[in-house]
């Protein structure tokens, strides 16, 4: 997905964050709707998807959707501003380390020596593999760190939420799509992004002709 976004943002200069988010979540939503009609396995895994079910935990679902949207937007901005793709992808791999440190320092979890050794080797390998890709792009580092931090927050929120409520991850993804679609669609107009879209497609049509 990161590579797909970078192609859109850099090759086609399509830098309309809310539009991309809306289209991606709309695609997910349509896929979920089709599966809900055709797949019994999907229905078993997702459980009940309805407004009455949503109301039971609406604050949780809405909070997840907001963090989910922010996480995606930061990722989009990072893909647009960071020209050094290898550095961006290398820094994204450090999410594992941040989750590990969060579990030890904040979550107070007791992790096995085997887990610690594995994380150490993965981190060391990632650093060695990408050492030649690092550059003096300090803004890029800050953006990726924020992106990683939001990813960690979302993952830990999901872990706690699923443990306390028993809600499957698939249901959470479905509600994210249901909530993200209207929110991103509204933001397209609130932020005036639709005006830039009209100019973009008008220019593209002119060049094509």
Q: Check if the beta carbon of residue 104 is closer than 8 Å to that of residue 75.
A: no
Mean pLDDT of the chain: 83
User: Does any domain span residue 47?
Assistant: no
pLDDT tens digits, one per residue of 76-113: 877 777 666 677 777 777 788 888 888 887 777 777 88
Whether 20 maps to a domain, the answer reads no
The reported pTM is 0.75
Four-CA torsion 163, 168, 170, 171, nearest 10 degrees: -100
Residue 122 inside a domain? The answer is yes
pLDDT tens-digit readout, 109-167: 777 888 888 888 888 887 777 666 666 667 777 878 888 888 888 888 888 888 888 88
- Is residue 115 one of the residues assigned to a domain? yes
d(CA 181, CA 195): 19
- Residue 42 located in a structural domain: no
Number of domains in the chain: 1
Q: Residue 112's pLDDT is what?
A: 80
User: Is residue 120, in this structure, part of any structural domain at all?
Assistant: yes
| Mean local confidence (pLDDT), 12-41 | 90
Q: Note whether residue 22 is domain-resident.
A: no
pLDDT(207) > 60: no
Task: State the residue range of the domain holding 102.
Answer: 57-169
Residue 163 lies in a domain: yes
């Amino acid at each position: 997905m990161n590579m797909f976004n970078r192609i859109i943002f850099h090759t086609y200069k399509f830098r309309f964050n809310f539009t991309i988010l809306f289209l991606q979540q709309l695609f997910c939503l349509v896929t979920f709707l089709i599966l809900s009609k055709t797949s019994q396995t999907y229905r078993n895994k997702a459980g009940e998807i309805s407004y009455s079910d949503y109301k039971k935990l609406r604050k949780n679902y809405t909070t997840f959707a907001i963090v989910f949207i922010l996480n995606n937007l930061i990722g989009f901005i990072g893909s647009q501003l960071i020209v050094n793709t290898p550095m961006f992808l290398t820094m994204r791999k450090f999410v594992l380390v941040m989750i590990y440190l969060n579990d030890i320092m904040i979550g107070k979890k007791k992790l096995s020596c085997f887990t610690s050794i594995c994380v150490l080797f993965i981190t060391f390998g990632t650093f060695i593999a990408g050492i030649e890709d690092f550059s003096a792009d300090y803004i890029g580092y800050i953006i990726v760190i924020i992106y990683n931090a939001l990813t960690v927050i979302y993952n830990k929120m999901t872990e706690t939420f699923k443990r306390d409520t028993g809600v499957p991850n698939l249901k959470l993804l479905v509600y994210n799509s249901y909530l993200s679609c209207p929110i991103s669609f509204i933001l397209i107009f609130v932020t005036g992004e639709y005006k830039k879209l009209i100019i973009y497609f008008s220019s593209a049509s002119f060049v094509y002709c």
